[in-house]
Amino acid sequence: MSRVATSQPSRTGCVTRLAELMTTFDSWSLEQASKLFDLVITRLDRIAEGVLSIELAAPDGERLPAWRPGAHIDVLLPGEIVRQYSLCGNPEDADRWRIGVLHDPCSRGGSSYLHEELEEGGRLTVAGPRNNFGLVDSKRYLFIAGGIGITPIIPMIRTVAGQGKPWTLLYGGRSRRSMAFLEEIGEIPGGEIHIVPQDEFGLLDLDRFLGQHDPEAVVYCCGPGPLLNAVEEKCQTWRAGALHLERFAPSEKAAFKEAGSFEVELARSGRRLVVPPYRSLLDILEENGCQVTNSCRAGICGTCLVRVLSGVPEHNDDVLSRADQEAGKVMLVCVSRAKSDRLVLDL
């Protein structure tokens, strides 16, 4: 709490309400949030199917803190919800921040709140910016983005293009109309752009771009879990440090993990959830709006079978064969848990 009490208004002069606000958030937020800002929503644009662009500015017109490509902010929402969004505007523009928010169909207060409740002229409390996905110096850059994972990539491209360095963007999405910032990307000079809507061209051709190790290039990738896993696998032959990944959103609770709890990533949305030791995974999925077929909730009927894309399940059911249990590729979410800290599920 001392951090709360001694925090000063930011150098930008933005309004801070730390003591009032931070007491309602968890210890993770207290540790990680550098500053809180009560910003004005200056512009809302629906820029693609299910994607909302939000521009924020200081209420007094002061300059916002500097940030570098790859940085994100924490958005503090009602119900003690904290969500992380990459800054996707121009790092040189200190008058406004911009984030892109995908409406998650499983949302129960995060993206749905932002999509449905915000109005231009309203306020949004944010913390940050922080950067766990910084842009390193390299001769060449390969950027790979899946869906809303394009957001941290845009300022990176802008920076690299400004330096006159060669870059390639491989950008996939469900459909062209679901892919945000296409026009803006097209206006960035130089580079080689590959726009790959899945309904027109299928999945990204990772073999073509990653099949051959380029010792002078670095790879930046952001997107849903399966894309990151695939890129990680393709880059196993690349030099150490060449690959930089960012998953959509770190869990707001991961840092204060209880013994027996584990984290679950829903691969189709990139969403992460924490399963406490005294709750079932199925309960947590349902609470977060993810419906999974089920009946017995006791590991007998097998109807809540879910594919495991990564991580090691701890099987507590009575019906999966021993071979299937050992293979660890599926699990019954009603009773089974995780041996690893995190599971990625095909949900």
Partner 1 sequence: MVDVRKIRGGEGLDDINDELDEILDSVVENTRQATEAFFAAYDQNPDPKILAAWLQPRAWREIDYVFLLNEQIRRYGLAFERRHITLLAKQSFQEAEHYEMVGRAIESLGGKVPVSTPPEAKPWSDFLWDCLERHPLAAIAAWNCSETSASGSFEPTFRAGERHGFDEVVRIYKQIENDEKFHVGLGRQVLAAYAKTDTDREEILRAMRGMRDLAWKTFTPESVTQARSA
Residues at the contact surface with partner 1, assessed by CB under 8 A: 293-296, 298, 300-303, 305, 318-321, 324, 330
> Considering the complex, what minimum distance in angstroms separates the CB of residue 242 from partner 1?
38
Q: Which is nearer to partner 1, 197 or 302 (CB)?
A: 302
> Considering the complex, what minimum distance in angstroms separates the CB of residue 224 from partner 1?
25
Q: What is the DSSP string of 82-143?
A: EEEEEB-S-TT-TT-EEEEEE--TT-SSSHHHHHHH--TT-EEEEEEEEESSPPPP-SEEEE
> Considering the complex, what minimum distance in angstroms separates the CB of residue 322 from partner 1?
9
Contacts 24+ apart (CB under 8 A), 92-97: 94/63, 94/64, 94/65, 94/66, 95/57, 95/61, 95/63, 95/64, 96/42, 96/55, 96/56, 96/57, 96/64, 97/39, 97/55, 97/56, 97/57, 97/64, 97/67, 97/73, 97/126, 97/129
Q: Which is nearer to partner 1, 81 or 292 (CB)?
A: 292
Cα–Cα distance measured from residue 88 to residue 100, given in angstroms and rounded to the nearest whole number: 7
Q: Strands 192-197, 167-173: parallel, antiparallel or unpaired by DSSP?
A: parallel
Q: Which is nearer to partner 1, 193 or 296 (CB)?
A: 296
Q: Which is nearer to partner 1, 64 or 332 (CB)?
A: 332
Cα–Cα distance measured from residue 109 to residue 81, given in angstroms and rounded to the nearest whole number: 7
> Considering the complex, what minimum distance in angstroms separates the CB of residue 241 from partner 1?
40
Quick check: 275 and 51 in contact, CB under 8 A?
no
Cα–Cα distance measured from residue 214 to residue 73, given in angstroms and rounded to the nearest whole number: 32
> Considering the complex, what minimum distance in angstroms separates the CB of residue 314 from partner 1?
16
Cα–Cα distance measured from residue 85 to residue 129, given in angstroms and rounded to the nearest whole number: 10
Cα–Cα distance measured from residue 81 to residue 249, given in angstroms and rounded to the nearest whole number: 13
Q: Which is nearer to partner 1, 6 or 293 (CB)?
A: 293
> Considering the complex, what minimum distance in angstroms separates the CB of residue 315 from partner 1?
11
> Considering the complex, what minimum distance in angstroms separates the CB of residue 99 from partner 1?
41
Q: Which is nearer to partner 1, 205 or 283 (CB)?
A: 283
Q: Which is nearer to partner 1, 47 or 300 (CB)?
A: 300
